[in-house]
A = this chain, B = another copy of it.
């Protein structure tokens, strides 16, 4: 049965749904004039940063699109392929930028309204922040779906490419999307954490004034940062995730299409994503039904997630049964594995980053002997979290592969892992909504503080802010797990892409063969792939180094500026004159954009350089042809095999390191909160218990850990998710370069 019609219908319906939510939020009261003034400053700062950032990214994107088009066209010896790839790249880049922009626009328009709502009731504040978040969550996923589907339709129906060629032609879309997402996430991540660290160090530590105090010149930059990092960055990130994984899964479907002649195998990823949107829409609408007065705001959010999980299972059964013929149940089981993995990661993240369990308590306890032991034990806990993450990803991959293999279709195992990834990503729009919830409530909190609103309102936004911290941690766990699961899918697509090149090359011995009969092992016992694998792991460490250092350097610039303002205008500290917020915003933006260039270009350049070098070494016949070398007579020999090894092992390194960054940052953050909540107790000298709370040495030690964790969890970690996928898409698109 042809189900593809559902894709445009659901896509457009979702856009309308999001527009409705946006209208609902924007028509609300935007608060007192003072709130409006502050929200206005945040809006202007965020827009100014985005404008400048997008100028840089646009320039880089146009250059890259042209270069990519030329490379693909030249090495594939087809002007048409080059042009189509370059155009797909630009469309992907533009859509990704729009997704980031929308996410941020709605967020900075919702924060003041959330602050205003908080002066009235918790319930209304939840409604505003959740709806504001949902606008971005749903639009991003719908745009990704519509973008891929439209491009597919245009390239296949209008431009007359075959069903099996088209997925290979639209990979440029994924590359363009990842390209923009990397810079958006990097620039935004550096901005947000540099502003946060800088504002804290110069305000809380040096000047002794509270967080979000209006006398601190960096405070607006800090509030802007939450938007440009968490909203714009994460929006672009999840846009490219869903796009790249859709395209990768479609490529894997080509092999089964060649065997069965049924195009459903190529279209399945689009259809299941559409059903995911339906499930998520119903889920988010169900949240108000679970909302009670005086309740932990996390509870209804959890119920909404359960509704989505149940619906996802039902839809997965429906779609696989209709589209996949008599072997559907194996892929349904693979999909179940993916949906289950998503639930498992929600629990893993909570275990490691919530104050209720051992890890955070251990770190809080270690703070008693100072910052050094806080960092040492925190590092040990962070490293430990890689165990459960790696095991969960491993079990999910092997199980979904085995289930897919049971179908007896060619490439069935790999397609099984793709279905699992699709299953996991069915709830993406909901997760992204919850993620955007975080910065909205955080900003509302800051606006209330700065506008001097009544303390009851502050209590409400404080409780929402705590929920926002949890949802942000969950999103990172989810994004990381889906990146790990998707990695296998994406580099399997790379292998297929290389094989496709040989299948279409008349001079090749594989001309006209089905892809699954073309050999392409990635043999890391060969010296070239082994060295490439080593460089791949090094790459993620070097990238993290550059990202973390950029935060440190940008924070240094902010600190200097705030100090200068304090020094040159004593009226600021006295509260008689206002600091120059705009200047601090401007300086942060400039430094953050400078900081994003080196790590961004490194990731795009490294696989290209490694691929070309090993291709040249191979062409010069320097590596011999023993069975243990990489030079067996396969299509991967030389460049592609080395690039694949860099990609695969670099991905492994990236997933493990990102797990460490995300979890250790969250754990340090919550160890600090644990102490602030008065939960750290020691036996007192005279018997009984003494609480080591705010202001004690233990608390100061925990603040050090929290500050160290900031660039880990909000700059390096999220950027690594994008890096992992960008590595895949850049090699996918540039495959012809490594072969010829």
Question: In the complex, which residue of chain B has the Cβ closest to the Cβ of A610?
Answer: B394
Asked if A519 and B627 sit within 8 Å, CB to CB, the answer is yes
Closest-CB distance, A394 to chain B (whole angstroms)? 4
B542:A386 contact, CB within 8 angstroms? yes
Does A516 count as interface, using CB distance less than 8 angstroms?
Answer: yes
A624:B405 contact, CB within 8 angstroms:
yes
CB of B704 within 8 A of CB of A370, answer: yes
The answer to whether B383 and A524 have CB atoms under 8 Å apart is no
Q: Is A149 located at the chain interface by the 8 A CB criterion? A: no
Q: Which one of B366, B386, B522, B624 lies within 8 Å of A523 (CB-CB)?
A: B522
- Bound CA–CA A360/B435 (angstroms): 38
Residue of B nearest to A484 (CB): B534
Chain B neighbourhood of A201, CB < 8 A: 369-370, 372-373
- With A373-B555, A488-B527, A523-B523 known to touch, is A384 a contact of B542 (CB < 8 Å)? yes
Question: Does A83 interact with chain B (Cβ within 8 Å)?
Answer: no
Question: A455-471: contact bitstring with B at CB < 8 Å (1 yes, 0 no)?
Answer: 00000000000000000
**Of B366, B518, B624, B653, which contacts A413 at CB under 8 A?**
B624
Is A638 an interface position by the 8 A CB rule?
Answer: no
A residues 367-396 touching B (CB-CB < 8 Å) = 369-373, 375-377, 379-384, 386-387, 389-391, 393-394
- Shortest beta-carbon distance, A452 to chain B, in Å? 30
Chain B: CB-nearest residue to A491: B525
Instruction: Across the interface, name the chain B residue whose C-beta is closest to A516.
Output: B626
Q: Which residues of B contact A652 (CB under 8 A)?
A: 530, 533-534, 537, 649, 653
Of A103-111, A174-182, A546-554, the one with at least 4 CB within 8 A of chain B: A546-554
Q: Report B-chain residues with C-beta under 8 Å of the C-beta of A537.
A: 386, 390, 537, 652-653, 656
On whether A552 and B376 interact (CB within 8 A), knowing A405-B622, A527-B413, the answer reads: yes
* A574 to B: closest C-beta gap in Å: 21
Contact B645 A524 (CB under 8 A): yes
Q: Does A147 contact B (CB under 8 A)?
A: no
Min CB gap A559→B, angstroms = 7
Which of B405, B545, B623 makes the CB contact (< 8 A) with A401?
A: B623
Residues B375 and A708 in contact, CB atoms below 8 Å apart: yes
CA–CA, A655 and B531, complex, Å: 12
The yes or no answer to A617 lying at the interface (CB within 8 A) is yes
Give the residue name and chain of the B residue nearest to A526 (CB). B521
Asked if B394 and A623 sit within 8 Å, CB to CB, the answer is: no
Residue of B nearest to A533 (CB): B652
A556–B653 CA distance with the chains assembled, in angstroms: 32
B541 touching A405, Cβ below 8 Å: no
A163 vs chain B, min Cβ distance (A):
22
Contact of A386 among B386, B413, B525, B541 (CB under 8 A): B541
Q: Is the CB of B525 within 8 A of A417?
A: no
Decide if A398 is an interface residue (CB 8 Å cutoff).
yes
Q: A390: which of B372, B373, B534, B546 is its contact (CB, 8 Å)?
A: B534
Cα A383 to Cα B711 with chains together (Å): 14
> How long is the Cα–Cα vector from A383 to B617 in the complex, in angstroms?
29
Apart from A488-B527, A521-B523: 15 A-B pairs, beta carbons within 8 A: A197-B376, A201-B373, A205-B370, A371-B704, A376-B548, A379-B548, A389-B538, A398-B617, A411-B626, A522-B523, A522-B524, A524-B648, A533-B648, A534-B656, A537-B537
List 24 A-B pairs, Cβ < 8 Å.
Answer: A197-B372, A201-B372, A375-B708, A376-B551, A381-B549, A382-B545, A383-B544, A383-B545, A384-B546, A386-B537, A386-B541, A386-B542, A393-B534, A394-B535, A398-B531, A414-B527, A414-B626, A491-B525, A495-B525, A517-B627, A520-B627, A521-B632, A522-B525, A537-B653
Interface residues of A (CB under 8 A from B): 197, 201, 205, 366, 369-373, 375-377, 379-384, 386-387, 389-391, 393-394, 397-398, 401-402, 405, 410-414, 417, 484, 488, 491-492, 495, 516-525, 527-528, 530-531, 533-535, 537-538, 541-542, 544-546, 548-549, 551-552, 555-556, 559, 617, 622-624, 626-629, 632, 644-645, 648-649, 652-653, 655-656, 660, 703-704, 707-708, 711
